[in-house]
């Protein structure tokens, strides 16, 4: 079996002058036999705030309503009773804490699986590597599906598949 990388990025001096901090990242092959490339023209180097996302699957757990109600009402915190923005910030903070307790650290598991997948895909091709890559891809999909679906019937422990 011959292993080649056909995915390439080409730039010229004008492009480099327009995007001096641009970078290219090889992403792992997860759902196909193609290795996607990410061309980032304005990379963020700080690991600061990530946008807050509310997942519909959270409605599958009745405790999410309690968290939202308590945070919205302020639960005795004067700051949360001040304005709409303050209430939204309190609700966001409480939901983020709740997400970690209920769903676990899916992002950490996905990053670990992605690293394992990249290592396997850059190693020599043999039957063991092929089987291992298939196993990691399955786990990757399970974790993504677990997070998307909520899988709240697994109990209040970590909701992602263990790595």
Q: What is the pTM of this model?
A: 0.43
Domain ranges of the chain: 13-48, 53-149
| Neighbouring C-beta atoms of residue 92, cutoff 10 Å | 13
**Chain centre to alpha carbon of residue 79:** 31
Among 113, 115, 108, 106, residue whose Cα is nearest residue 145: 106
Residues 122 and 111: beta-carbon distance below 8 Å? no
pLDDT in tens, the chain (163 residues): 444 556 778 888 888 888 888 888 888 777 777 778 888 887 765 555 667 778 777 787 888 899 998 888 875 555 555 678 888 888 888 998 888 887 666 777 788 888 888 888 888 778 788 888 888 888 888 877 776 665 544 333 334 444 3
């Amino acid at each position: 079996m011959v292993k080649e990388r056909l995915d390439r990025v080409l730039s010229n001096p004008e492009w480099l002058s327009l995007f001096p901090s641009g970078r290219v990242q090889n992403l792992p092959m997860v759902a196909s036999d193609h290795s996607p490339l990410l061309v980032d023209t304005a990379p963020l180097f700080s690991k600061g705030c990530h946008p807050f996302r509310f997942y519909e699957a959270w409605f599958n757990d009745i405790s999410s309503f309690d968290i939202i109600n308590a945070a919205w009402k302020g639960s005795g915190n004067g700051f949360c009773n001040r304005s709409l923005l303050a209430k939204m910030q309190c609700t966001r903070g409480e939901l983020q804490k709740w997400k970690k307790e209920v769903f676990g650290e899916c992002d950490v598991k996905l990053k670990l699986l992605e690293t394992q997948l990249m290592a396997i895909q850059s190693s020599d091709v043999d039957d063991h590597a092929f089987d291992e890559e298939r196993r990691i891809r399955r786990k990757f999909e399970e974790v993504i599906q677990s997070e998307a679906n909520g899988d709240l019937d697994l109990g209040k422990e970590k909701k992602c598949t263990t790595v």
